[in-house]
Amino acid sequence: MRLRKLRSPSVRESAAALTFLGPSLAGFLLFYLIPFGAVVYYSFVDTPIQGRFVGMDNYRQLWDSASFRKAFGNSLAFAGVGVPVLFAASLGLALLLNKAMPLRRTFRTLFLLPLVVPVASIALVWQALFHWEGAINGFAASAGADPVDWMNGRWSFAVMTAVYVWRNVGYNLVLFLAGLANIPAEQLEAASIDGAGPWRRFRSIVWPGLAPVSFFAVVMSIVSSFKVFRETYMVAGAYPHDAIYTLQHFMNNQFQSLDYPKLTSAAVLLALVIGAAVSILFRAERRAREASEG
């Protein structure tokens, strides 16, 4: 009986799948799961070396920190503003570039360039634009306007949102263009013949057809919104204006000061926030799919 079971197609397929997935699973376990498990453990002890278990004290001290609360609020605000703006911009560009227009391929390439440009180069470009003596203030001075301290004032949040959208719009653009290509042209033509206008065709055909792509784009945008630290750090430094001081800045500063309890606790909370947001989106997507099928 055992030999028959081992020779069954399902067992052979499972063994072949594990053989091919084994290296990837081992790498994921070694470089992601085990380190994250260590971070969770360190967040409950007072020191990484021969630490004493302190329970939730690290998290209470972390929440008592005004700088952490500021960074946590800024990260949530940035995700709440940046993700909808990125979604709207990429969807609008996809709808525009999906039509026949001059230089359509050139524009597609231009929007994809930020994905392949190194982050350091991006930081240099934005520094040259928004520095106190940068290009934008130079144009403003030539027009008779007063210069603006873009990175050390209330405009810094808008600048970093623009950097985030410019950096990631190409990725979502590819997703939406692929989704639009899968929508049958016959349905759009039939709806147009029946008298449906552009908005009705978008609401009844295009938007439902883009639902799976939209869900994936939102999930990836949320994750990328919490990874904007590199650009912010290179443009504004380790201690930027309060409006763009995010959780990544806080954790980077705790790492430099070797405050591991706060560092690990902040990392765990960040993972919980992202996981909760993604879980809510998965549940919403599943309910929407069940409602449409029902």
Model-level pTM? 0.82
Site of tokens 């790492």: 255
Length of the chain (residues): 294
| Distance from the first to the final alpha carbon of the chain | 44
Q: Per-residue pLDDT tens for 160-216?
A: 888 889 888 989 999 999 899 888 888 888 888 878 788 888 888 888 888 889 999
The pLDDT tens digits along the chain (294 residues) read: 444 444 566 777 878 878 888 888 888 888 888 988 988 998 898 888 877 888 889 899 889 989 899 999 999 999 999 999 999 999 999 998 888 777 777 887 788 888 777 777 777 787 788 877 778 888 888 888 888 888 877 888 888 888 889 888 989 999 999 899 888 888 888 888 878 788 888 888 888 888 889 999 998 898 888 888 777 777 777 778 888 888 888 888 888 888 888 889 999 988 898 888 888 888 888 887 777 665
- Domain ranges (residues) in the chain: 67-293
Phi-psi region at 47: left, alpha or beta (left = phi > 0; alpha = psi -120 to 50): beta
What is the rounded distance in angstroms from the CA atom of residue 186 to the CA atom of residue 208? 16
Going from the C-alpha of 157 to that of each of 163, 243, 277, the distances in angstroms are: 10, 6, 22
Pick the CATH number of 67-293 from 1.20.58.340, 3.90.79.10, 1.10.3720.10, 3.60.130.10: 1.10.3720.10
In sequence order, what are the residues at sequence separation of 6 or more whose Cβ sits closer than 8 angstroms to the Cβ of residue 136? 129, 130, 148, 150
DSSP conformation letters of 189-202: HHHHHTT--HHHHI
